[in-house]
């Protein structure tokens, strides 16, 4: 569960921005939107608004960058080294600052952690602490090749210095996964597992890999997806996985396709076109027989007629939902965090509104954070609390980020109208068009 996230000197975030999931205790509306399962109450959702180019997507990219840095050894070198790091730092000031700064505070398996880092190509600073403010224990602190740990956590100093010197641009967490040279690795492994399994970042063009495989492994997920499609009026009566031998799948299809599946596609592979998973090939390694799986949508037609349709017949919005639904399912049942850029892309505003209502009906255990332009969600009487709404606004190239909780809003205030009128910022300033 996310408590707080700080960014500075990354893309459009020149100065430090602090984002948090703490509810305003004075607001009594929608108390069910607050997760009270742990010591600190936390909001289950945050919706981020702002004009195009204000920094919303950069906020999502910050989570994605930090996740990759923590998990993958030498990731900075792999993506382009010094020129790439320099380009990621805030550019719109004469005197450039070095180093990207992140700080993330989170809860994982009943333990609170604070991870802080300053990322430069030739020097990495990191600090991992366990516990809450005023009662924190340092797990490790690393500055370049120098490593410090708590007194009860011994390590081979020569070994650590050599490994850090050979991997100057890697996070210590990724290195410790490969070279576990600390005596006490429990907390570091917890942090690795949090980033790897509990933090899901979905960019606007990101696909969930092996989507058919994911749905075919869980009847509960398939049922969840079916209920969502039914709930939002998709006219899909039943969602299912069809599994057939290759020969059956190829009936009434070209020989060229069959040859391609047999010879050009790996033994286990999901074939995707424009984000739509067309089919999944599975090969039995003993018998070498090939099976094909595909998603089928049983939909209603005229006079009660029913037909099973493949994914080629579905809209971009339905395909976008199929990528979002596994993430939504995971955060309804587990303390995971889903961060989604432009959740409303290709999806009707009324459907997004119903999706948020449906999400809350499950009393979710995790958190959903997303960017959006759908102003119909800005409804404190029927949908969202003001402390769940965040605004990004750019001034002199620098992204500022703040919650509507910073404004004195009466519980009868119509937030959508106020936002569109520019009362809270985060809307585009449109000059008069002149084509002369």
Confidence (pLDDT) at 435: 66
Q: What is the pLDDT along the chain (436 residues), one digit of tens a residue?
A: 999 999 999 999 999 999 999 999 988 889 999 999 888 999 999 999 999 999 999 999 999 999 999 999 888 877 765 567 878 899 999 888 889 999 999 999 999 999 999 998 778 999 999 999 888 999 999 999 998 887 666 777 888 888 888 888 899 999 988 888 776 778 899 999 999 999 999 988 777 889 999 999 999 999 999 988 888 777 788 999 999 998 888 887 777 777 888 888 888 999 898 889 999 999 988 888 999 999 999 988 888 899 999 998 998 889 989 999 999 999 999 999 999 999 998 888 988 998 999 899 889 999 999 999 999 999 999 999 999 999 999 999 999 999 999 998 888 899 999 999 999 999 988 777 676 6
Last residue of a domain, one of 301, 317, 333: 317
Residue tagged 């391609």 (tokens): 260
Confidence (pLDDT) at 380: 92
- Decide if 323 is inside a domain: no
Residue tagged 């993506």 (tokens): 79
Confidence (pLDDT) at 262: 81
- Decide if 322 is inside a domain: no
Q: What is the C-alpha end-to-end distance of the chain, expressed in Å?
A: 54
Q: State the CB neighbour count (10 A cutoff) for residue 360.
A: 17
Task: To the nearest 10°, report the CA torsion of 329, 330, 332, 333.
Answer: 120
Look up residue 300 and give its two tokens. Answer: 């209603």
Mark whether 51 and 156 lie in a shared domain.
yes
Mark whether 313 and 249 lie in a shared domain.
yes
Mark whether 167 and 183 lie in a shared domain.
yes
**Residue 232 gets which letter from DSSP?**
T
Report the alpha-carbon distance of residue 35 to residue 102 in Å, rounded: 25
The count of domains in the chain is: 2
The distance between the two most distant Cα atoms of the chain, rounded to a whole number of Å, is 77
pLDDT digits (tens, 9 = 90+) for 178-233: 888 776 778 899 999 999 999 999 988 777 889 999 999 999 999 999 988 888 77
Exposure string for 371-384, b = 16+ CB within 10 A, e = fewer: bbebeebbebeebb
**Can you give the pTM of this predicted structure?**
0.92
Confidence (pLDDT) at 360: 92
Mark whether 180 and 303 lie in a shared domain.
no
Report the alpha-carbon distance of residue 261 to residue 115 in Å, rounded: 46
Look up residue 334 and give its two tokens. Answer: 């587990």
Confidence (pLDDT) at 159: 83
Q: What is the DSSP string of 16-36?
A: -EEEE----TT--TTGGGEE-
Report the alpha-carbon distance of residue 252 to residue 258 in Å, rounded: 11
- Percentage of the chain lying above the pLDDT 70 cut: 97
Mark whether 199 and 215 lie in a shared domain.
no
3-state secondary structure of 403: strand
Phi and psi dihedrals of 254, rounded to 5?
-70, 150
Distances (CA, A) of 59 to 48, 93, 264, 335: 10, 20, 39, 21
Which range of residues forms the domain containing residue 253? Answer: 211-317
- Decide if 307 is inside a domain: yes
Beta pairing class for 367-371 and 45-50: parallel
- Decide if 326 is inside a domain: no
The continuous run of DSSP H or E covering 257 comes out as helix 255-263
């Amino acid at each position: 569960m996310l408590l707080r996230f700080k960014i500075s000197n990354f893309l459009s975030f020149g100065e430090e921005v602090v984002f948090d999931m703490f509810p305003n205790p004075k607001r009594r509306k929608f108390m069910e939107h607050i997760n009270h399962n742990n010591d600190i109450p936390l909001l289950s959702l945050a919706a981020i608004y702002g004009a195009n180019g204000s920094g919303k997507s950069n906020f999502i990219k910050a989570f994605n960058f930090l996740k990759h840095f923590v998990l993958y050894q030498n990731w900075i070198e792999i993506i382009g080294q010094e020129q790439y790091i320099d380009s990621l730092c805030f550019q719109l000031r004469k005197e450039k600052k070095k180093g990207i700064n992140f700080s993330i505070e989170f809860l994982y398996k009943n333990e609170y952690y604070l991870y802080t880092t300053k990322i430069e190509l030739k020097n990495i600073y990191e600090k991992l602490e366990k516990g809450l403010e005023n009662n924190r224990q340092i797990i490790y602190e690393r500055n370049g090749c120098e490593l410090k740990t708590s007194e009860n956590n011994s390590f081979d100093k020569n070994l650590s210095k050599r490994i850090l010197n050979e991997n100057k641009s890697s996070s210590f967490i990724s290195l410790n996964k490969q070279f576990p040279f600390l005596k006490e690795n429990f907390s570091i492994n917890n942090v690795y597992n949090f980033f790897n399994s509990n933090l899901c970042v979905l960019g606007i063009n990101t696909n969930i890999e092996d989507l058919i495989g994911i749905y075919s492994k869980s009847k509960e997920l398939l049922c969840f997806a079916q209920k969502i499609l039914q709930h939002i009026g998709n006219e899909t009566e039943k969602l299912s996985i069809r599994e057939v031998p290759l020969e059956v799948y190829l009936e009434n299809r070209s020989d060229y396709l069959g040859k391609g599946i047999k010879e050009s596609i790996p033994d286990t592979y999901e074939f995707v076109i424009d984000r739509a998973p067309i089919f999944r090939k599975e090969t039995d390694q003993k018998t070498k027989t090939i099976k094909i799986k595909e998603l089928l949508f049983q939909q209603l037609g005229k006079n009660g007629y029913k037909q099973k349709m493949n994914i080629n017949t579905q809209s971009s919005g339905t395909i976008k939902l199929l990528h979002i639904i596994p993430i939504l399912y995971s955060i309804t049942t587990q303390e995971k965090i889903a961060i989604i850029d432009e959740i409303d892309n290709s999806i009707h505003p009324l459907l997004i509104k119903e999706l948020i209502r449906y999400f809350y009906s499950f009393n979710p255990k995790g958190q959903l954070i997303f960017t959006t332009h759908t102003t119909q969600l800005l409804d404190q009487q029927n949908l969202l609390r003001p402390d769940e709404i965040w605004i990004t606004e750019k001034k002199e190239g620098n992204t500022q980020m703040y919650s509507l909780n910073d404004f004195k809003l009466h519980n009868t205030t119509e937030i959508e109208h106020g936002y569109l009128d520019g009362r809270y910022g985060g809307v585009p300033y449109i000059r008069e068009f002149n084509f002369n």
